[in-house]
Chain A
Amino acid sequence: ETGVTQTPRHLVMGMTNKKSLKCEQHLGHNAMYWYKQSAKKPLELMFVYSLEERVENNSVPSRFSPECPNSSHLFLHLHTLQPEDSALYLCASSQEFNFATDTQYFGPGTRLTVL
């Protein structure tokens, strides 16, 4: 595997379910990110991790819970979601988290539908 991978690619869940999204980066980067892309809206930054420590949480509802066990893996745990949470969830990584010139590399995304 190369780059940034995400599983599953598609997920359908009920509002009472608990599920997790997984992201893995094979680039040796130190920072990882979760973004949400809703239809006709720009990407929204959700969480930022640097060397397994959360450095930013952009006022995301508590029904989204991130976990970063090491610098290569990032999870997004989902519980009691709402239909408006249906979106494309993108994971990204970069060498560092605080450089304006640092490129972020994205995974293929998980398309989530909440019924």
Chain B
Amino acid sequence: AQKITQTQPGMFVQEKEAVTLDCTYDTSDQSYGLFWYKQPSSGEMIFLIYQGSYDEQNATEGRYSLNFQKARKSANLVISASQLGDSAMYFCAMREGLGMRFGAGTRLTVKP
């Protein structure tokens, strides 16, 4: 079974600064993908970024980038130039069986 660990229950960041949200994982699969989702208080689970285990470059998507270190089994999300609208829960996830296994999440609060 996959295991996802997010060790930061809550994080604060000043508006316009960058923040890194940590994620480590454990899997015996050779080919796998790592996903990050954002969940605002409204409840919607919004897909942010994906990293494949065989991708040679770190994924980037606008202000989001993924610091993928395969040997360390870590896939940290970096959000640059934080905005007030970035305040939300952030989940790291992997496909497991037919569904997704999510980490416990990190609640990010952006301060004005």
Interface residue ranges, A against B (CB under 8 Å): 33, 35, 37, 42-43, 45, 48, 55-56, 58, 88, 90, 92, 97-109, 111
Are A90 and B45 closer than 8 Å at their CB atoms? yes
Given the complex of chains A and B, what is the CA–CA distance between A58 and B100 in angstroms?
13
Q: Which of B43, B47, B102 lies in contact with A109, CB distance below 8 A?
A: B43
Given the complex of chains A and B, what is the CA–CA distance between A102 and B33 in angstroms?
8
Contacts of A43 in B (CB 8 A): 100, 102
Are B98 and A108 closer than 8 Å at their CB atoms? no
Q: A42-B102, A45-B100, A101-B33 are in contact. Are A106 and B47 (CB under 8 A)?
A: yes
Q: A88-B43, A109-B43, A111-B43 are in contact. Are A104 and B100 (CB under 8 A)?
A: yes
Given the complex of chains A and B, what is the CA–CA distance between A106 and B95 in angstroms?
14
Are B98 and A55 closer than 8 Å at their CB atoms? yes
Q: How far is the CB of A35 from chain B (nearest CB, A)?
A: 7
Q: How far is the CB of A99 from chain B (nearest CB, A)?
A: 7
Q: Mark B6-39, 1 if CB is under 8 A from A, else 0.
A: 0000000000000000000000010111010100
Given the complex of chains A and B, what is the CA–CA distance between A49 and B99 in angstroms?
11
Q: A55-B98, A100-B95 are in contact. Are A109 and B44 (CB under 8 A)?
A: yes
Chain B residue with the shortest CB-CB distance to A56: B98
Q: Which of B43, B47, B95, B102 lies in contact with A101, CB distance below 8 A?
A: B95
Contacts of B52 in A (CB 8 A): 101
Chain B residue with the shortest CB-CB distance to A43: B102
B46 at interface, CB cutoff 8 A: yes
Given the complex of chains A and B, what is the CA–CA distance between A108 and B35 in angstroms?
18
Q: How far is the CB of B34 from chain A (nearest CB, A)?
A: 10
Are B47 and A105 closer than 8 Å at their CB atoms? yes
Given the complex of chains A and B, what is the CA–CA distance between A37 and B102 in angstroms?
11
Chain A residue with the shortest CB-CB distance to B100: A104
Contacts of B47 in A (CB 8 A): 103-106
A-B contact pairs, 26 of them (CB 8 A): A33-B98, A37-B43, A42-B103, A45-B100, A48-B99, A56-B99, A58-B99, A88-B43, A92-B45, A97-B98, A98-B98, A100-B31, A100-B32, A100-B33, A100-B95, A101-B32, A101-B52, A102-B95, A103-B33, A103-B35, A104-B35, A104-B47, A105-B47, A106-B45, A108-B42, A109-B43
